[in-house]
């Protein structure tokens, strides 16, 4: 029998076996479950820490993860177990502050599954040049923007960094509370071509300020270049998994922004940043617990993040 006929016979037998299995299941009163197509999953918020503190010294009194947590090896274990494909490593400013050496070395060494988001000092005149260097040579695809030392977000130094980011074609992540909403609006309007991602959605959480913060997050959705990072469920919840007290807020944010402007991130290591739930549980909230439409889920868990941080892959 020639090779072509053999392949055809094999295909026929495999198809017949599948059909017979389906018929058998139905005969027994069991419906065969349709196989869900595989979609890319991107974790767009992971903080990674080096175990070598001589090579990468932390700041004084850093916010330190539990022992053996937060390392590259730990992250690789978590993403493999959860079925995550790509990661954006966010500079850990509570550990390294403005020193981006570890995150840039890490992302340059692991371009097959990782890009970086650096954090630069808006009061330092050399920061725009550093941003350009990191984007050009160190696999950095985002800037995490913090307020200047005087407390202002709408500050000349911040403005220079945002202008550089827009020129480079990368996204800006903003870590801010709701009091910065007016300044965020001003900056986002000033740079309409620049994607502006709200880290943790103005730190939305249950409690006395929940409704006011949610209103501010929803109001910012009116700006078409503002995106929502949906990392606030485990950080803002007052409950254990599946953190149902934050589900309605998450649905409202998704409805306001649309799935094309929403992304998921784990807030790795969860043992430090959201210890009420595990890495896999955080992902499971979006995969199953929220009851998201498959198209919406696909965009939030991968497609939107890919467009923002991995478009050149």
The CA-atom distances, in angstroms, between 55 and each of 2, 76, 101, 299 are 62, 21, 9, 38
Q: What angle do CA 308, 310, 311 make, to 5 degrees?
A: 75
Q: Give the span between the Cα atoms of 310 and 86, in whole angstroms.
A: 9
Say which residue the tokens 């890495």 belong to: 279
Superfamily of domain 42-309: Metal-dependent hydrolases (3.20.20.140)
Tell me what pLDDT residue 249 has.
98
Q: Give the span between the Cα atoms of 245 and 238, in whole angstroms.
A: 7
Structure-block tokens of residue 92: 């850990």
Q: Give the span between the Cα atoms of 295 and 198, in whole angstroms.
A: 22
pLDDT tens profile 2-52: 444 434 444 433 443 333 333 333 333 333 333 344 589 999 999 999 999
* Domain boundaries along the sequence of the chain: 1-30, 42-309
Structure-block tokens of residue 276: 């009420």
Tell me what pLDDT residue 312 has.
83
Tell me what pLDDT residue 303 has.
98
Question: Which of 128, 199, 202 lies closest to 166, judged by CA?
Answer: 128
Tell me what pLDDT residue 38 has.
54
Whether 166 and 197 have beta carbons less than 8 Å apart is answered as no
Residues of the chain with pLDDT under 50: 1-37
């Amino acid at each position: 029998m020639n090779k072509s006929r053999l392949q055809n016979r094999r295909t026929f037998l495999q198809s017949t076996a599948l059909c017979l299995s389906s018929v058998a299941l139905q005969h027994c009163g069991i419906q065969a479950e349709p196989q869900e197509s595989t979609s890319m999953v991107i974790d767009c918020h992971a903080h990674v820490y080096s175990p070598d503190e001589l090579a990468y010294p932390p700041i004084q009194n850093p916010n330190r993860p539990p022992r053996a947590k937060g390392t590259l090896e730990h992250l690789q274990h978590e993403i493999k177990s959860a079925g995550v494909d790509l990661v954006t490593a966010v500079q850990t400013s509570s550990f390294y502050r403005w020193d981006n050496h570890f995150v840039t070395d890490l992302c340059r060494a692991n371009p097959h599954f990782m890009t970086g988001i650096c954090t630069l000092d808006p009061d330092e005149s050399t920061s725009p040049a550093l941003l350009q260097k990191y984007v050009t040579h160190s696999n950095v695809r985002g800037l995490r923007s913090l307020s200047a030392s005087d407390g202002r977000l709408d500050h000349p130094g911040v403005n220079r960094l945002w202008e550089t980011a827009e020129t480079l074609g990368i996204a800006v992540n903003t870590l801010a509370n709701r009091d910065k909403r007016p300044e965020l609006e001003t900056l986002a309007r000033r740079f309409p071509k620049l994607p502006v991602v709200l880290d943790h959605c103005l730190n939305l959480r249950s409690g006395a300020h929940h409704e006011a913060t949610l209103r501010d997050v929803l109001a910012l959705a009116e700006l078409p270049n503002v995106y929502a990072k949906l990392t606030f469920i485990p950080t803002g919840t007052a409950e254990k998994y599946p953190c149902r007290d934050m589900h309605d807020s998450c649905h409202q944010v998704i409805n306001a922004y649309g799935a094309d402007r929403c992304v998921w991130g784990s807030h790795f290591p969860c043992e430090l940043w959201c210890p009420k739930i595990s890495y896999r549980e955080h992902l499971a909230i979006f995969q199953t617990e929220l009851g998201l439409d498959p198209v919406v889920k696909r965009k939030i868990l991968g497609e939107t993040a890919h467009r923002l941080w991995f478009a050149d892959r």
